[in-house]
Amino acid sequence: MHKKLFIPGPIDCRPEVLEKLSQPMIGHRTKECTEIGQRIMANMQKIWKTKNVVVISTTSGSGLMESAIKCCTAKRAACFSVGSFGDRWHKMAVTNGVEADIFRSEEGKCTTPEMVEEALATGKYDLITVTHNETSSGVMNPVGEIAKVVAKYPDVVFCVDSVSSAGGADIPVDEWGIDICITSTQKCLGVPPGLSLASVSEKAYNRAKTVPNRGLYLDIVSIYDMMAEKAQYPSTPALSLMYALDWQLDQIVNVEGIENRYARHIEMAEYIRAWAKKHFGLVADEAHLSNTLTVIKKPENVDIADLNKKLGELGLAIAPGYGKLKASSFRISHMGDYTMEDMKLVTSSIEKVLGL
């Protein structure tokens, strides 16, 4: 039996999205392929409210995260981390020989504008990474507030991980001055995993041109050039996923409408949070709760593997905790094309299994 996935990616995709995956191949240097690339770029620009080029890569989100920090740090990177995914960006720097420091917040707390100000005031850094939505703790960082600080440092390339929030929460890239904003297809966009998307500013592009040893496959300069010129990819892209993404982005932008989509995510988030607070408690600070997933405190006597086994019999799955919060929490995603009815399914199923 298929289990409906309430994990923070991959999530269930609409049948039409899955159907698109089985369409016949086209040449990746054809006009047809360019048109698909152009439509994907134009719709992502609407979602992110940006005029920047949006690149597509045939990797999951981590591919463009690694590319961004490797290709765009000339001096030293400051990685702000509120959990596992923030830590990962720092590890990507270190393992690529990029000079970087990490600034961690306590689990459940956000990156504050003050922390960013303090780091940037040293003049040591020319790139920063911030997680918009930390999928391990359920914190949604105040990126709009952080952006006001970053704006005072025009030489700093501002990179944001919006892997688990783009398409589910408003991220106005140009208003916030984000130079590189990254996402994956398998979370709020509701497409299978395998593609990554990033908006890339001219500033980030020009910086990358000064950095030697950017590698070849994920060189952000060549990916940007091909996208800007022909809306194509330097290698052979995952065409099937592009068909699915193309269809889905049209639904998001032109059928549902992005503001309606964000409102629906907030409605689902508020419902899950209220329910979780009544029965368990939340991990993240109340002022910075994610709109796309909720990370819930796990009572000692609840075994998540066991709970999930029983939920599986009812046709759904939730996620255990992640990273440092693995043993003490569990996670319910409310992203993509899910509805309030789905939310009620997940809460009533958990109530049934645990006898709440």
**What residue ranges bind ligand PLP (CB under 6 A)?**
8-9, 60-62, 85, 131, 133-135, 161, 163-164, 184
159: which 2 tokens? Answer: 């990179």
SS3 55: strand
User: Smaller CB distance to ligand PLP: residue 234 or 323?
Assistant: 323
Q: How far apart are CA 355 and CA 270, in angstroms?
A: 23
Distance between CA atoms of residues 68 and 66, nearest Å:
5
Nearest-approach distance from CB 131 to ligand PLP, in angstroms: 6
Amino acid (1-letter code) at residue 183: T
Which of 128, 349 has the CB closer to ligand PLP?
128
Closer CB to ligand PLP, residue 156 or residue 335?
335
Partnered with residue 100 across adjacent β-strands are 77
Amino acid identity, position 74? A
Do 273 and 96 touch, CB atoms closer than 8 A? no
Residue 215 CB, nearest approach to ligand PLP (Å): 17
Encoding tokens for residue 289? Answer: 């709760």
Q: Closer to ligand PLP by CB, 52 or 184: give it.
A: 184
Contacts 24+ apart (CB under 8 A), 91-95: 92/62, 92/65, 92/66, 93/69
Q: CB of residue 313 vs ligand PLP: minimum separation in angstroms?
A: 27
Give the length of the chain. 356
Nearer to ligand PLP, 61 or 190 (CB): 61
Measured from the CB of residue 142, what is the shortest distance to ligand PLP in angstroms?
A: 16
Q: Find the angle CA(303)-CA(308)-CA(312) to the nearest 5 degrees.
A: 155
With respect to ligand PLP, which residue has the nearer C-beta, 52 or 141?
A: 141
Residue with smaller CB distance to ligand PLP, 107 or 134: 134
Return the number of the residue (50 or 333) whose C-beta is nearest ligand PLP.
333
Least distance to ligand PLP, CB of residue 286, Å: 20
Angstrom CA distances, 172 to 47, 265, 270, 301, 335, stand at 8, 16, 22, 42, 18
Which residues make beta-bridge pairs with 166? Answer: 169
What DSSP state is assigned to residue 256?
I
Smallest distance, Å, CB 322 to ligand PLP?
9
Minimum CB separation of residue 68 from ligand PLP in Å reads: 12
Least distance from C-beta 109 to ligand PLP, angstroms?
A: 16
DSSP codes joined into one string, 175-199? HHT-SEEEEESSSTT-S-SS-EEEE
